[in-house]
Amino acid sequence: MSSPPNDFSHTTVLLNEAVEGLVTDPDGIYVDGTYGRGGHSRLILDRLGEKGRLLAIDRDPQAIAAATSGATRVSDPRFSIHHTSFGQLVPTLSGLGVTQVHGLLLDLGVSSPQIDDPERGFSFRFDGPLDMRMDTTRGESAAEFLARADERHIAEVIRDYGEERFAVQVAKALVARREGGNPVRTTRELSELVARAVKTREPGQDPATRTFQALRIFVNAELEELEQGLTAAIQLLAPGGRLVVISFHSLEDRIVKTFIARESKSEFDRRAPFAAPKPTRLKSLGRVKPGAAEVAANPRSRSAVMRIAERTDVGAQA
């Protein structure tokens, strides 16, 4: 395994494209639902006027600390950050007296500081405790899940969230090791076990990639969180407000694509043929991928897909 970097820096993916797609009213209220290390937030603030406001959210305590202390602190009266998840957007913003926003940005997945810190347990490249929680103050770690779940449940998680063909074999190996009195507790132990269980692999991809992805998504309930965040966007966006979502794997992008497509259609209720159709609530504004120059400079951006949608006036909240 390679050594971790000396600093946990982060290069924001699709920075300019995301902010250009998001900010349409410099005096509006915007939400960065995944603050990370603040790359998008800082550029959003640059685009806002004196009356504009940016509410940032992150469930990682380290991200909150980076925004509120030290050299990375954001000192701007138009900015505030809150330790919560974007699945809790509606109650969080309601508590702040905000019922409508002009834009919501979600940059999904794991940030570079999370991946590069061995203590977080997100990467098989560095040895560390098998944690994987984005919010280290609550919830069950990946190691704790593997220590108590049965073989069938483990296999389902690895298959459904990692799309791993050898999910059953990996689950069997994990349970056999646990029953032998030596449950998997570190990233290195898990990576080595998966390498033995996965018989074939994609060229250039570590055999542990899919299993690590699956456990991370499951431990953090990422897909459920995404569904909740998208539903919140419909409730919160003002007419003409923008939803911008950057995803990094097909499971996420499929949810976003399906959601935008569904909300962009006018539907008739077959049980009430003479009733007015359900109005469209979103208008898709397209899909963006990083260019060759960005991928060359930041290889982690190569799988990114950004989708932009706008809240329509028809049926929108007053």
| Domain range annotation of the chain | 15-113+222-311, 138-219
Q: Residue 274: pLDDT band by 50, 70, 90 thresholds?
A: low
What is the 3-state secondary structure of 99-138? Answer: CCEEEEEEECCCCHHHHHCHHHCCCCCCCCECCCCCCCCC
Tokens of 46: 């640059």
User: Tell me: the pLDDT tens digits for 205-257?
Assistant: 899 999 999 999 999 999 999 999 999 999 999 999 999 999 999 999 999 99
Options 1.10.220.150, 1.10.150.170, 3.40.50.20, 1.20.1260.10; CATH for 138-219 is 1.10.150.170
The answer on pLDDT for 1 being more than 60 is no
What pLDDT is attached to residue 9? 56
Q: Residue 318: pLDDT band by 50, 70, 90 thresholds?
A: very low
- Phi then psi for residue 309, to 5 deg, are -140, 155
The answer on pLDDT for 315 being more than 80 is no
Q: Measured on CA atoms in the order 288, 294, 300, 303, is the torsion positive or negative? A: positive
Q: What percent of the chain has pLDDT over 70?
A: 92
For domain 15-113+222-311, the CATH class is alpha beta
Q: pTM for the whole thing? A: 0.90
15, HSE (Cβ side, Cα atoms, 13 Å): 19
Task: Answer for the pair 162, 211: CB distance below 8 angstroms, yes or no.
Answer: yes
User: Tell me: the pLDDT tens digits for 44-103?
Assistant: 999 999 999 999 999 999 999 999 999 999 999 999 999 999 999 999 999 999 999 999
Q: What is the side-by-side order of every strand in the sheet holding 305-311?
A: 79-83, 53-58, 29-32, 101-107, 237-247, 305-311, 282-288
